[in-house]
Structures are given as structure tokens and as C-alpha cells.
Structure 1
């Protein structure tokens, strides 16, 4: 079996714990307005690689992977679910820590057994929640968020560690109501290990120019890092509020 791979990176430091070997998959069904990898959208691009070829690449640099492992990102890795699963299963046989960086968009409850097989060999999922409001999510990505939120609950129910990431974009997700609602939703995720609230940046604009594409967000300014810190505090307040509400309700029911 071969996978369609955009590229690999041998010294990833922001793609999960430790220093990691990062594999960028080709193909993504979403069209996020702030996507900085539009060259990964088509599954037909990039190069073909076997699982053994990718693991051989990892082996060639594994002495540098301090407290790390392999992270699969994209694109959307779960678009090539069978290949991804084979890669993680063989990685676990070699004692390698596995991390999946995903939007969760391809999750399909009708194929639940396939996802259960995948998470058995997945140590950590870094899940991007683009927008908590479904209609606003459609405007931002071209897709509903229902599969994404269902995947988050699935991971929680299966005991899989989850690391949530959320990008705060001026005039889109930089909204206290939506941020608070995101926090309320996260109260359902029992396996939540970390929350990264990231400021929107424009570093992807040059790539659009190189590809002859118009950058969707035009002149939207980058978000100040302090505003991202403030936004994270709003998310956390929503999380704490929901947990307190449930505790109070539980006390009343006794």
C-alpha cells in the first residue's frame, strides 16, 4: 500500500510532545479561509511513499527525536485512513509514539470500526476545532463541524488523549460568545490534555501568490498574541462554567 505524501520534516517542535518526525499527507476536503497549506488540498499531488519507506526515514533521524515520535498532519491524514492506520500500527510495533494532527472532518460513525482500529495505535490526537458554530464553520471551511465534534466525543469515550487547537481570527472566531461556547463543549472531553488558542497569522499569503491564488482573507490583520491569551481565558471560563453547572445539578439531584 502507498500513501500520497506532500513532504516530511525531521525536526518538528510544535507538532506534539518532544522533537518529532512530521509527515504531511496530501488531500483535504476543507477549504479553510486561513489555510497556509493550499498545496496539500489535492490528494493527487505530492509523492507516493510506502509505510516502510516512511519508517526508514524516521529511523535515519530517530536519535534526534528526543521524547518525540511521529506526527501525521496535512492536508488531512484521515482522508487516507487505511494507510494512516497501517503506518501507526507498524510504528507502535517499533515503540514509536504516534500523534495524529487532524481536523476530524472525515469521521464517519457508519465506519466506526475503522476509527476504533486507528485509535488503538494512536497515542495522542491534536484536534483542530475551527469554529464551534456550525453555520459559521461552513462559512469558514466550506464544511459542517458535526463530524469534528462527534470525533472529539468519540476520542473522549475511547480514552484517547486529546490536544485541542483553535485559531482566533479577527471578526471570525474572535468572538466571546463563540469562545465561551467552545469552552462549554470542551467540558464533554474527558481526555483533554491541552488547549492551544492560537493567534491568526498571515505567513501563508506568499504561498498563495506563488500558486497564483487569491488569498481569501485579504488584508485581515494578524491577531496580537495578548488577544489570543485573552481569548483562551474566555474558552477556559466557558469550560469551568459548564463543569460547575454540572456539579451543582448533580448535588441538587442527590
Structure 2
């Protein structure tokens, strides 16, 4: 029989065991759709970082260079028929595409043929599996960046992943950054910001009309996310992608620069030249800005007091 004064201690221990079992169960069962993992990158945040790309996005940007991460596979079989080496098969029982790597030529015929802007190569991974990959390179990286697609569409998985990293003695020193489009409700941010070191966002356009031309969607939620993250001191980088004929008009540039100048000076700000390389064939009409376009944008931004990085 337990001594009475030990009862609270025993009860606390039992609750901790229950919570541990619950967390272990979640970690082993919860999965995310992962498009790919780059073990070393110096362009996705400060230092040398592992980048984890999540599948699925809630925007459809004309100039997207990762358009195969926009949609989810619906097992239509079009990619299977398009494969010249018969390296793809439909596994109807497990609802997935089987990929034979030894015969695959990586010609991307499957990706180019997909009407869903998806890929047969993304796979489901657990938190445990991703953490195992991080451990393999932990001594060579300074942090983790999660990108997409739109990572915040899988926020429950992200929260558990980040909590696991922060509680791991061998990984807790790694910084965690989110690369997001910002088209996410505030309650989603609230659930994950305590475990995040910062967020990097793009501002596609300020006016609704121009934003819809570029992405297919409005930007009210994105503007709110930028302001909210800045208020919470979690916004680390704000980028503007210049697209000729869509968001490079003087009036639009002034509105964008004024909005960006309202964000804290500590937030890094940049103007990125849209490049056509890698965008979908149906959007070949999208024009790259030239040197004069970039210079005009720089001048307008500087007039607003912004010292921007040109990329």
C-alpha cells in the first residue's frame, strides 16, 4: 500500500507516462505528404540547412517553379501511361503510385502529364522517419527549413515535428524556419509559433486584382498573416517577386513598398526577379522583368525608405 504523501507523486508519474504514450502514438501514426528532402542548402535561410518540401498548396502561382508540389495524386493513372520505361504502377490497395527507381530515367514525363500538378514521387513520412533523416546530418547543418507546396496545410504534423526536434538534446540547437505563402488563418499560426524560430513569406501583389492574376486567389489572409507575424516578432523575411506586366506598374509598386515599409525594420526585405526557367508551358506568356524594370522597382522601394536586397 502506497504511503499517503506519495500519492500525488505517483499520480503525476502516471499522468506523465500517459502523455508520453500518447505522444509516441501520435509520432508513430501521424504522417505528412513529403515531396522531397534536400540535406544541404544555403539559399533557404541562414547557414547550411536541411530543407523539407511538403506536398500540396492553396495557391496556383503562374511562375511556380515547384508546380509538381501543388496538387495531390488522385490515382488517375495518366502518369503511369506517360512513363516511357513503365516504371510506374498503381497500387490500388494502398492508394499510391509505385515507383521503380532502377528503371526510371527521371525524364519528368509523368510530372509534365499530370493534370493535378502533382508527382508520383512524393511519399508519406512519419515524424519519426523525418527526425531520423535529420539525425544523419545534424552535425553539418545549422537548422531546418520546411517549405512546399504550402507547409501550413499540414500544421498538426508540423507542430509535432517541431516539438520533437526541440525536445531532442541532439537536435534542439537547430533553428526552425517556415517558408510559407501566408494564406493561412491566424489560429493555425497560434498553434505552431511557440515552436518556431521564424517565418519567411512572399508578397505576390498588393491589389486584389493583380494578386488573383498571379495566384488565382485573393490576398486578404496573406496581408493579415504578414502583419500578425510581424507583431509576434516571428516574421524573419518578406520577399516581393517582380512579374512584368502584372505587378511592376508604378502604382502597384508604390502600394507594395508602402506596405512593406510598415513592417519592422528588423525583417529582411528583398525584390526577386521572376525567372521563366522551370515554369509550366501553359504560362510561357509570363514575362521576365528586365534591368530597367528591376531598377525602377528598387528606386520606388528606396523612396519608401526600404533598403532591399535584389535577387
Structure ID, larger Rg: 2
The 5-angstrom pairing of residues 50-129 of structure 1 reads 50-65=126-141, 68-93=142-167, 94-105=172-183, 107-109=184-186, 112=187, 114-129=188-203
Mapped to 2, the partners of 1:192 and 1:43 lie a distance apart of 37
Mapped to 1, the partners of 2:158 and 2:175 lie a distance apart of 14
Q: How many residues align?
A: 226
TM-score (norm 2): 0.68
The 5-angstrom pairing of residues 229-244 of structure 1 reads 230-239=296-305
- What runs of 5+ residues in structure 2 fail to find an aligned partner? 1-29, 74-118, 307-311
Mapped to 2, the partners of 1:234 and 1:75 lie a distance apart of 31
What is the CA-CA distance between 1:202 and the residue it aligns to? 1.2
Mapped to 2, the partners of 1:119 and 1:130 lie a distance apart of 23
2:238 alignment partner in structure 1: 164
Q: Deviations over 1:148-174 (max 9, x none)?
A: 000011111212133011111111122
Kept after mapping to 1: 8 A contact 2:245/2:287: no
Q: CA RMSD in A?
A: 1.9
2:282 alignment partner in structure 1: 215
Mapped to 2, the partners of 1:29 and 1:47 lie a distance apart of 19
Kept after mapping to 1: 8 A contact 2:162/2:195: yes
- What runs of 5+ residues in structure 1 fail to find an aligned partner? 209-213, 241-254
**1:31 to 2:60 alignment:** yes
2:93 alignment partner in structure 1: none
Give the alignment partner of residue 8 of structure 1, picking from 37, 42, 45.
Answer: 37
